[in-house]
Structure 1
Amino acid sequence: MRARSVGTLVVLGVLAVLGGWYFGTPLTPGEQTTVARGKLMFPNLAPKLGDVARIEITHQGQQTVIEKRPDGGWGVASMHNYPVQEAKLRGMLTGLTELRLAEPRTSDPAAFSRLGVDDPNGTSSSADLLRLVDASDKPVAALIVGHRRVRSQADVPEEVYVRRPGENQSWLAEGSLPVDADASLWLDRNVMNISHDRIASVVVGDQALTFARQDGKFALTLPADHPKLEDYKVDDVARGLELLTFQEVKADADAPGSDAGHSVFTTDDGLAVKVTVLHAGRDVWARFAASSASDKTKAEADRMNGRLAGWSYEIGSWKEKSLVPSMADLKVEEPAKPSSPGSVTPSSSAPGASAVGAGNAGSGNAGSGTASPGTPDAGGK
């Protein structure tokens, strides 16, 4: 063999040995034949997804379980199977079926934490164990998901470090695999979205306030004799069920609070939504129940009740004024009364002003509490 060829082989051999510094030692021949590069990590997973009954995500020993509901949807087990975000779940499962192995990485357990593929039960681990199991508790797929690889170039696929449970070989895989171990991040926080222009009437309490359409405009119709109202506040009542989301959800039996008011929103096509508001300290909770006065909206009402029945939602406190408004919430705020010309405040008093105030005590000016011009109103925001 020529000296040049021998030299080339020596150089290549040295590079191969030195290459082991990058996230671990080289692969053994047996490990190399386990999975071919560029192949799907789970080539037969897609047709098996229909058999999956439970999804488990373990992080630092804590487990989030997503289970199939009787209605065919998916819910978070620790939240009484409250529905998850279907698009998010679909994205994770699709990402798992499309995951391709790009490059083998370390097979040294001491280096797993650098890739985030160490034991997901460790108290300081950043790894997530994703498991799919069927109704008989038989595993369908399992994967330890580690750090995402940051790519600065545009138009390049996402990459993530992964490892199969029970195997020492780790991989850099091509694809997006969004795994969240926080149960609250899976909840579908949309309660309902009924457009304001669809609302025909709102009755608050036992007809304490009644809103309806008048000349194409949403207005307070009862009581007929009422103070001047802010138009935008009345319009907010019509928008009470529009893009409504929650901050926290609990089963009715576990929800805190006491009844603080109710209302009924009715659409122009016969759908009625009853709202019950509850107070728990400073927190505002709400329950919803739908009914229908026409066949046109019966299916919609049934669908809403199937989702909302049995649940209490913590909503933003500002929503209370649009769901169960009072007259005080709606009326135009009167401008602050100007201070009387002869009033004096301590901040603007000259030396001796206190004596003057004392001398005027008989006139009724002292202690009047009237603010000087420019002084913020104590009740202002």
Structure 2
Amino acid sequence: MNSKKLIVLAGAAAVLVGLAYLSGQRNAVRTPAAHGRKLFPELDVSKVAAIEIARPSGETLALAADDAGWTIDSLHGYPADLVKIRENVLKLADLKAGHETPDRAMAGPTTVRLKDAAGQILAELALGEQHLRKPSDDMPGFGGYPDGRYVAVGGKDAVYLVDDALASLDGDASDWADMQIPSPAGSTIQAVEISNAGADLALVKTNGAWTVTDLGADEEMDSGKLYSLDSALSYLRFNGIAAPALTDDALGFATGTVYRAVYADGITYTAHVGAPTTNSQDRAFRIAASFAPTGTNAAENAVAETKVAEFNGKAGKWTYLVAPSTAQKFTLARTDLVKPKTKPETEAAPEAELAKEAAEAPHAEPATDETSAAPAEASPETQAAPASTETAP
């Protein structure tokens, strides 16, 4: 092999090496070094003392921690759910970068910021559009569902597709608070009083059955509408908290409903439901507990008083905003529960019964010409004795 051929082979080898290097560089671009790594590797979750979620609309959901716990500013200081706080903060701490999408723009994102007690930003994440999973071949007619999100770390231009839709970080208060109103526990309702639009309604429960105290002799309870009485104070959800500055007139309490439920343990729960207002479909709702000892059992009275204090500490100081369907449970009228008594079919009026018998009685057939022309047959008793032909001697 001469020197000329060696030079050609060496040049070809150099070209191959160069192509291999360029190919490796291109592969490195397709799979960046950040792929699979945490977006916030230095985040110390124990230092998080405030959370802000700014929506594109300008609304901001703000949560802050103090000595009493976490509260939600947009709900006027209502307690946040510590379990949900922990879940969402840990979700950010463990969030890993997916595929980089350099051609993806982050227009109008929702911005999430975690801050420490001094107000310093510990982590900032911009949330873009959710990624929708494509329909499978087996179900082509069904649309995709969210299985990821386009995100960008604050202060950086890189946009990544992560494998979590992060719907709980969109700024909805229900993702950070327990939206269920505290309810009585450990007892059953024995009596209910409802004052609505000047009409008073009183019900008592006897042997497991509800009845109004003034039920008439020709009335009966509508059993199909009584089920809501036992569960009226259970599983109540609210949509928001009314601003403390709003007056009772503005909230509709002046013309609203007062609902009282007396439980078997002697505790009375009083709910005030505001009348409909023009500025919201939701209805204002307040509830508080009270207890007046009627017996001499000091231990039982102490238990009841403790339950009252705990309940009022959780629910007594808030004015909830509830859906109209929830408010309807407490605005029942007498006509909703009482109906005219249905008379049994056998108890028909005497006149109607007589008319029915007359209509069903068989009718006598009219006499024919032959029967009418025939002389009536005399009875033996009425037949005359035959005339005698003999003369007297």
The answer to whether the superposition gives a TM-score over 0.5 is yes
1:271-282 counterparts in 2 under 5 A?
271-281=267-277
- Structure 1 segments, 4+ long, off by >6 Å, are none
Q: Return the TM-score normalized by structure 1.
A: 0.65
Q: Which amino acid aligns with 2:235?
A: L
Q: What corresponds to 1:192 in structure 2?
A: 182
Structure 1 residues 41-100: Cα deviation after superposition (integer angstroms, max 9, x where no partner)? 33343xx3343222111232723212236531331x133123445554433212112112
How far apart, in 2, do the equivalents of 1:298 and 1:99 lie?
47
C-alpha change, 1:251 and 1:213, in structure 2 (3 Å) is same
Q: Which of 41, 49, 65 matches 2:39?
A: 41
Q: Which amino acid aligns with 2:338?
A: K
Q: What corresponds to 1:242 in structure 2?
A: 234
- Confirm or deny: 8 A CA contact 1:196 1:239 kept in the other structure: no
1:357-368 counterparts in 2 under 5 A?
none
Structure 1 residues 296-350: Cα deviation after superposition (integer angstroms, max 9, x where no partner)? 3444433432332343233343444532433122112799xxxxxxxxxxxxxxx
Q: Which moved more, 1:192-201 or 1:263-272?
A: 192-201
1:280-295 counterparts in 2 under 5 A?
280-281=276-277, 284-292=283-291, 294-295=301-302
How far apart, in 2, do the equivalents of 1:159 and 1:185 lie?
18
The offset of 1:137, in angstroms, is 0.9
How far apart, in 2, do the equivalents of 1:298 and 1:162 lie?
51
C-alpha change, 1:286 and 1:60, in structure 2 (3 Å) is closer
The offset of 1:276, in angstroms, is 1.1
The SS at the match of 1:209 is strand
The offset of 1:193, in angstroms, is 4.1
Q: Establish whether residue 296 from structure 1 lines up as the match of residue 296 from structure 2.
A: no
Q: Return the TM-score normalized by structure 2.
A: 0.63
C-alpha change, 1:147 and 1:86, in structure 2 (3 Å) is farther
1:1-381 counterparts in 2 under 5 A?
3=12, 6-7=15-16, 9-10=18-19, 13=22, 16=25, 36-45=34-43, 48-60=44-56, 62=58, 63-68=60-65, 71-75=68-72, 77-84=73-80, 86-106=82-102, 111-113=103-105, 118=106, 125-151=107-133, 159-175=148-164, 177-178=166-167, 179-183=169-173, 186=176, 188-194=178-184, 198-205=188-195, 208-217=200-209, 219-223=210-214, 225=216, 227-254=219-246, 256-257=251-252, 258-281=254-277, 284-292=283-291, 294-332=301-339
The offset of 1:240, in angstroms, is 1.2
Q: What corresponds to 2:384 in structure 1?
A: none
Q: What corresponds to 2:352 in structure 1?
A: none
- Confirm or deny: 8 A CA contact 1:237 1:321 kept in the other structure: no
- Confirm or deny: 8 A CA contact 1:251 1:311 kept in the other structure: no
The offset of 1:105, in angstroms, is 4.3
The SS at the match of 2:97 is strand
The offset of 1:112, in angstroms, is 4.6
How far apart, in 2, do the equivalents of 1:204 and 1:229 lie?
16
The offset of 1:146, in angstroms, is 2.7
Structure 1 residues 121-180: Cα deviation after superposition (integer angstroms, max 9, x where no partner)? xxxx342221111221122222223334444599xx954333222222333444563311
- Confirm or deny: 8 A CA contact 1:58 1:130 kept in the other structure: yes
How far apart, in 2, do the equivalents of 1:196 and 1:209 lie?
26
Aligned-residue sequence identity (percent) comes to 22
How far apart, in 2, do the equivalents of 1:12 and 1:299 lie?
76
Q: Which amino acid aligns with 1:167?
A: K
Q: Which amino acid aligns with 2:214?
A: P
Q: Highest CA radius of gyration, 1 or 2?
A: 2
Number of equivalent positions: 304
- Confirm or deny: 8 A CA contact 1:209 1:220 kept in the other structure: no
Q: Unpaired runs of 5+ in structure 1?
A: 119-124, 336-381
Q: Which moved more, 1:128-137 or 1:303-312?
A: 303-312
How far apart, in 1, do the equivalents of 2:174 and 2:37 lie?
34
The SS at the match of 1:42 is coil
How far apart, in 2, do the equivalents of 1:317 and 1:280 lie?
9
C-alpha change, 1:204 and 1:57, in structure 2 (3 Å) is same
How far apart, in 2, do the equivalents of 1:138 and 1:197 lie?
48
The SS at the match of 2:193 is strand
The SS at the match of 1:301 is helix
- Confirm or deny: 8 A CA contact 2:288 2:315 kept in the other structure: yes
- Confirm or deny: 8 A CA contact 1:192 1:245 kept in the other structure: no
- Confirm or deny: 8 A CA contact 1:269 1:296 kept in the other structure: no
CA RMSD of aligned residues (A): 3.9
How far apart, in 2, do the equivalents of 1:328 and 1:334 lie?
13
C-alpha change, 1:305 and 1:128, in structure 2 (3 Å) is same
Q: Which amino acid aligns with 1:203?
A: E
Q: Which moved more, 1:257-266 or 1:60-69?
A: 60-69
